[in-house]
Every structure is written in C-alpha cells, then in structure tokens.
Amino acid sequence: MNIPADLKYTKTHEWVKVEGNKAKVGITDFAQHEITDVVHVELPEIGRTVKKNQPAAVVESVKSAFDIYTPVSGKIAEVNEDLSGAPELINNSPYEKGYLFTVEFSDAEELANLLSAEDYKKTI
Amino acid sequence: MEYTSQNKKDLQSMLESCGVKSVEELFNVIPQELRAKQLDISGGKTEQELLTLFKNLSEKNKTLVSFRGAGIYDHHIPSLVGEVTSRSEFWTAYTPYQAEASQGTLQAIFEYQSFICALTGLDVSNASLYDGATAVAEAALLALRVSGKKKILISNALNPQYIQTVKTYLENSAANIILIDTSASGAVESSAIDAAIDENTAAVIIQSPNYLGVVENMSALSALAKNKNALFIAVVNPLSLAVFQSPSEYGADIAVGEGQPLGIPQSAGGATFGFMSVRKGLEWKMPGRIVGQTVDKNGKRGFVLTLQSREQHIRREKATSNICTNASLNALAACVYMSGWGNENFKKLAETNISKARYAFNKIKNLDGFKAKFAGAVFFNEFVIETVKDVKKINKILLKNKILGPLDLAQYNKNFAGNLLFCVTEQRTKAEIDNLVEILAKA
C-alpha cells in the first residue's frame, strides 16, 4: 500500500498536499483499491466556497458512489479536468494524475488536525 | 425464508416489545371514525367457484374493432414476442442484475438499448423507464439538472396526460412550465417558440406526431432551442421513426416516448414502458440504469449493470430519479418485436400504418358533414376530422356495430368540440375501414 510520507491524510481517506496557500486533494491508494474501478467523477465548480468535512466532489465506481469531503475550508482554486475524460486516473495514479481539486484554504489551523502518513496507516 | 405463522405467545411478545398491551392499544392513534367497521369481503371460494366467477366476468367483455389511439395503439403482436418473454428465465426473475448469474437478462437489456439508439439515432439509451408519461417528466428533470435553468416550454399538443405528469413532477420545484399553443395548422409554429424562449429556458419539449396526429417541423423548432442554449426534447412514437427523421437528425438532445407500440398489449392503461435516449455528454445525468458491455478477466464478452450507483437503492438522497423502475419484461418484448420484424419489415409495417390511415382519411373527409381539420398536414396513423354531426351519437352507433370509434376531442379541449381523432393501424382491414365509412355516412 502506497502512503507517501510527505502528505497529510483524513480518516475518510482523502490525502492533502500543501503548496503555499493551496491544498491539493485526492483519494488515497487504499481508497481507490477498495472502491475498485472509478467510472465517473463529479468535480466542484471553481470559485465555490467549501467547508471542512463537507462533501465537495463525488467519485463513482462500478460498486457505488462516494462523497469526497474537503479536508480544509476555503475556495476551490482548480479542478482536475483530465478526470472527466479519464476517471481511471484515480486508480492508476491516485497521488499524481488522479488528484481531484485544490483548495485555497482560509484557515491554516485546520491543517494541524490532519493525520500524518504514520497515523493514517494505523487507521486502515 | 420460510413462512412462519404466529401464535398468541408470539403476538404477545411482539406487543410487549412495542410497549403496548393489546393490538387495540397499538392502533389507538387512528381515530375510531377513520377505521373500517367491517370489510366487504366475501368468504373463501373453491377453485371451481372462482373459475365460474371470472368466466362470467370475462363474458362481459366486448371485442371491438378499434379506430382509437391517442397514446395507446392497437398493433398486432407476433406470437414470437410472447414465446420469448414467457420463458421462465425472463418471466420470474426479480431484479436479476447480478452479472455473475444473469448474463441472459443483461444481454437482452443491452440489445434493447442498442435498438432504441438505432431508432432514435442518439448515443445512449437507458434500460427503459416506467412509461411514456414519466419518461417525459424525467427528461424535463434531466434538462433542469443539466442546465441549471428554470423554464420549460411544452407544446400544448403533447399528450395531455404527459403534460399532467410533468406538472405533477415539477409542482413543488422552482421550475416554470410554459405551454405553447399550436396554430390553426395543428402544429407548433416557430414564431410561438421564438416569442416564449429566452436564455433562462432549460428545454423545449415537442411531441411528433403530436397528440392531434400532426407531424411537427422538428428541425426548425430544434434549431430555435439550440439558439438559446436550451435542450430539445423530442417525444416520439417509436414505430413512426421507421419512416420519419430520427431525433438525432434534427438535433434532439433527448428522445423519449411510450414503448407500447412495440409489441406491448393494450391493457387498461398498463403496464407499458417508457424509453429514453440521450446524446453523449448527458448520460451521467440520466435517470435509471444502463447495461454495458465489457470483457471478463479472460477477455470474453460479458454484460454488467453500469450507472447503478446513481439509483435510489444505493444513494437514495442523490438518486437521479425516484422511479428508477426499468420495465424490463416489456423492454424485452420490444426488443424481440423489433428484432423479429428486422429493418425492412419494420419499415414496411410503419408504411402500412401510413397508407391505411391515409386511405381512411381520404374516405372520411369526403363524406357529407365531415372534413379534414388540418388539411395538408403530414400524419402517421392518426388524424383529426371535423364534423357538424352529433359526435356522441356517432360513437354510440359505432359501438352498436362493435366499433370503438374515434376520440371525441371536446374532452381534450373545449375549442375542439366536433373534432374526432381517428387512428388506423396495420390491424385494420380494408373491409373494416369501408364498413366504418359506410356507418359514418349514415350516422
């Protein structure tokens, strides 16, 4: 199971990569493996304000559909358009090409509550 | 699970779990005056008694020669259809969608979807919906969902029951339905759409042939919708598509309709099925399920249910529809019906409908006291005739002659008093049509 040490995680299997005032969000290798083949992704609108732990996107696999919760509050800065044509990127490259969106976060303190790779490993 | 009857002890323990002493106490919340005092149910009957009862009932049925359509049509259903649909594998299984166990059912649905796509020319068909009316309402919801806009233009010549269903669906939403009247030609004019459409219009819904039997200028109406970025929803008779332009040819985004003409019996209003197909890009917002084709780990062709996760049994609160019912057995019947005819004969069948209807039309409109309502209109198997004679009397006389006469359009719209909607399908023989004409002449 690939759990990069330089990322932050949530109990609901999202990963977060902090780049300046933005947080890049995706789902973990464990999550993509559990939900199996992803067939569709609904991404949030750019500019939308989102709140920590609220649904921001939907990932649909052949098994079911899952809400993806934003790990931090803020404004959606960017979404991964490539996913609309190739949702399987989430399975093939969960931490790179399969990221979902980036949030321009409004409260840096929220980041402190996220799990480290080590702690996330313990939850799965 | 086996059936297990309860004894008094079981009953008592259930009541105790509910925290009440008696059944009476359990129902205390229902006021006495609202309860049935006595049920009007006779006692048990033997098989013999029951057969006699139903035989007597069925003898009250009258077999009529039908000249009425208005949404449900009298078409011949080849024996092949019943032969296949009554196979126990199809007949008995309830939601048999486990890919491991149900390749036959899934393939049948896949073939059905392929037929609907071939008929409408659109890219994606779902596995069928509840009926034609709900299919139209679902198409309206789909348009609202995709566009984020609030206004829907609907032709007033859409089947009135469909209009009612759309209104019911949208009653408690922010959507605004605007009905567009037809002109004296029986069709929706471009100018009427042009006057009502704007940037806030989610969709334009037009039926063709419409409820008055008239074929609409779908290309012109669709182009107007496109101009304002509204979706164009075509409500079509599937059999007519064998000879008329397909929805994709005139740029429809969604094609829906009643599947009953495709091998489904007319039975007291149901059960039938609704079909829906959409252009690529809308499939993710479409209601209902889709069966897809894939390969298994050995590379062999197989069928699976896709888009299932948007259905109410998995994510109820986010389902695209609250009737995801796929009328599977009837969709299968349609699939067998279309494959049985094949391309050429399906087209011939449609042409026979047109030529027989045209024969009847020409005969009736030339009778004294009768004339064509929409002279020059193109129609499929239904047409409107205006008469100065007493419409109720005409239908009474026809009924005496074992004929189900045309629909009295005064019921549909008061302005249509004295107008009759006739339907002539391939079922009607020349002798039957001539007989009808003879009776009308004397009526």
Nearest CA-CA distance, residue B309 and chain A, Å: 5
Residues of B in contact with A60 (CB under 8 A): 309-310
Write the DSSP string, B76-120: ---HHHHHHHTSHHHHT-SS---TTT-HHHHHHHHHHHHHHHHHH
CA distance between the termini of chain A: 10
B79-336 is classed in which CATH architecture? 3-Layer(aba) Sandwich (3.40)
Q: Can you give the pLDDT at residue B309?
A: 62
| Rounded mean pLDDT, A31-53 | 93
Determine the residue among A36, A60, A83, A84 to mutate to test chain B binding: the one whose Cβ has the most chain B Cβ atoms within 10 Å.
A60
In Å, how far is B297's CA from the nearest CA of chain A? 14
Q: How far apart are CA B374 and CA B384, in angstroms?
A: 7
Q: Residue B203 pairs with which residues in a beta bridge?
A: B152, B231
Tokens at B417, concatenated: 């008093």
Q: Which long-range contacts (CB under 8 A, 24 or more apart) does A92-95 make?
A: A94/A2, A94/A15, A94/A26, A94/A27, A94/A28, A94/A29, A94/A31, A94/A32, A95/A2, A95/A4, A95/A7, A95/A15, A95/A26, A95/A29
Q: Which of A41, A62, A66 to probe by mutation at the B interface, max B CB count within 10 Å?
A: A62
Query: Which residue in the set B284, B306, B314 is minimally distant from A64, CB to CB?
Result: B314
Helix (H) or strand (E) holding B144: helix B132-147
Beta strand ranges found along chain A (DSSP E): 8-9, 14-19, 22-27, 38-42, 49-50, 55-61, 65-69, 74-79, 101-105
State how far the alpha carbon of A23 is from the alpha carbons of A2, A105, A114, A123, in Å. Answer: 20, 7, 12, 22
- Looking only at the bridges linking them, the beta strands covering B370-372 and B176-180 are unpaired
Domain chopping of chain A, boundaries = 8-108
Rounded-to-integer distance, Cα B312 and Cα B335, Å: 26
Write out the CATH class of domain B65-75+343-442: alpha beta
Render pLDDT for B360-409 as a digit per residue (tens, 0 to 9). 999 999 999 999 999 999 999 999 999 999 999 999 999 999 999 999 99
pLDDT of A92: 96
Contact A60 B309 (CB under 8 A): yes
Return the number of other C-beta atoms located less than 10 Å from residue B318's C-beta: 14
* Positions in chain B whose pLDDT score sits under 70: 1-2, 93-96, 308-315
Q: How many CB pairs under 8 A join A and B?
A: 19
Provide the H-helix boundaries in chain A: 29-35, 82-85, 89-92, 117-123
The whole-angstrom separation of Cα B337 and Cα B242 is 14
Q: For the beta carbon of residue B276, count every other beta carbon within 10 angstroms.
A: 28
* Predicted local confidence at residue B39, as pLDDT: 85
Cβ burial of B397 (10 Å; 0-12, 13-18, 19+) is: middle
Nearest-by-Cβ selection for A65 from B304, B306, B309: B309
Domains B65-75+343-442 and B79-336 fall in the same CATH topology? no
pLDDT at B5: 80
Three-class HEC string of B11-59 = HHHHHHHHCCCCHHHHCCCCCHHHCCCCCCCCCCCCHHHHHHHHHHHHC
User: Which residues from B are below 8 Å from A42, CB to CB?
Assistant: 284
Chain A residue whose CA is closest to B285:
A42
Domain boundaries, chain B: 65-75+343-442, 79-336
Give me the residue from A61, A63, A65 closest to B310, CB to CB: A65
Contacts of A58 in chain B (CB under 8 A): 318
Both tokens of B250, joined, read: 């005139």
Higher-pLDDT residue of B308, A43? A43
Distance of CA B313 to the CA centre of its chain: 24
User: In angstroms, rounded to a whole number, what is the distance separating the alpha carbons of residues A31 and A124?
Assistant: 10
Those residues of chain A whose CB sits closer than 8 Å to some CB in chain B are 39-40, 42, 58, 60-65
Tell me which fold the domain A8-108 belongs to: OB fold (Dihydrolipoamide Acetyltransferase, E2P) (2.40.50)
| The pLDDT of residue B313 | 62
Taking the model in full, what pTM does it have? 0.86
Report the pLDDT value the prediction gives residue B255, as an integer from 0 to 100. 98
The DSSP result for B147-193, as a single string, is: H---EEEEETTS-HHHHHHHHHHHTTSS-EEEEE---TTSS--HHHH
- Name every chain A residue with its beta carbon within 8 A of the beta carbon of B309: 60-65
